[in-house]
Amino acid sequence: MRRPQLLTHILCTTIVAFVISAPPPAYAAATITVFTNDGATEGFNDPTPATPVGGNPGTTLGQQRQIAFLYAANIWAKTLDSNVEIFVLASFDPLGANVLGSAGASVIVSNFPGVGSFPGSAFPNTWYHSALADKRAGVEQAPGFFDIRARFNTQFTFYLGLDNNHGPLSDLVVVVLHELAHGLGFSTFVTASTGANFAGQTDIYSQFTLDVADNTVWSDYGMDSQRAASALRVDRLVWIGSASLAAVPHVLSFGRPELAFNNPPALGPSVRVGTAAFGPALTSAGVTGHVVLGVDSSTDPVPPAPSGSSRMPASHW
């Protein structure tokens, strides 16, 4: 299906354009412009009355969605550093049960030069999300196209406050922050099931995706099957961007908890476990004790209690 109507369609439809300009740049700033093609009485324009919540002063459901979305986009605008405007097309639509929202890059670019002092693409034959490509090129690479397309679900009840006090609900600000990140650059264009690159070129995300099992970044795998196998190695894939590596010691705990069975040995090798929300934190020294299966009914048979030890092994880094 050809889509010459993309730009036309957007201009023909009722448009609300929100321009989010960060304050004058101190160390970083970008401008994010959000468009919506929602109708006059739906999605971002839903007139259903709403009570202001958690610092969101909107008095209709649509207003609250707008304010929460823009709040999240503004966080990115203040965090990023780009002299090229970032365009987002966002909408609220019925997406069915179990879905919160969906987003990604609209356009991808490779082998682009920079203008002036802008460096252009850092790697040859590597796809970039257009917002990132624009930043590195210093100029818009695909005029007339959105950088990011985002859809959220009208059938899902989000918390629309701005204060992170979401309780058991999903916080729209957090979900939008997360989804916009995918559109900005935090996503690969590799087909996960086959490991195939898009159109025979790797992508910028894969240049920084390291499989610690074989110490290889995804862009260096010679065969698609290697990437496909790597994609299934849970807890072996890490991001090696310099900013993330610098932040790791401050935000993550090293290692992962495992449960090893001392007796009976027939229970097999160690298994992955989560840490408890009670008691002292698990340390690398670990703890040893009996494991008992909890049962709901006194009539249920209780299996023999194996003994085992749980530990936090040293990091695989």
Residues from 98 through 137 that contact another protein (CB under 8 A): 98-113, 115, 127
CA distance 32 to 112: 22
Q: Tokens 């100029």 identify what position?
A: 139
C-beta of 53 vs 177, nearer to another protein: 177
Which of 131, 86, 137, 135 lies closest to 116, judged by CA? 137
Task: Enter the tokens of residue 282.
Answer: 């698990």
* Cβ proximity of 235 and 256 under 8 Å: yes
Minimal distance, residue 45 CB to another protein, in Å: 9
Binding status of residue 145 toward another protein by CB under 8 A: yes
Minimal distance, residue 187 CB to another protein, in Å: 6
Minimal distance, residue 101 CB to another protein, in Å: 6
Minimal distance, residue 297 CB to another protein, in Å: 16
For residues 183-242, which are near another protein according to CB under 8 A? Answer: 187-189, 191-194, 198-199, 201, 232-235
CA distance 64 to 159: 10
What is the pairing mode between strands 170-171 and 158-159?
A: parallel
For residues 268-297, which are near another protein according to CB under 8 A? Answer: 271-272
Binding status of residue 75 toward another protein by CB under 8 A: no
For another protein, what does the binding mask look like between residues 166 and 185, x meaning CB under 8 A?
A: --x-x----x--xx--x---
C-beta of 125 vs 315, nearer to another protein: 125
Cross-sheet strand order for the sheet of 271-272: 271-272, 258-263, 307-311, 287-290
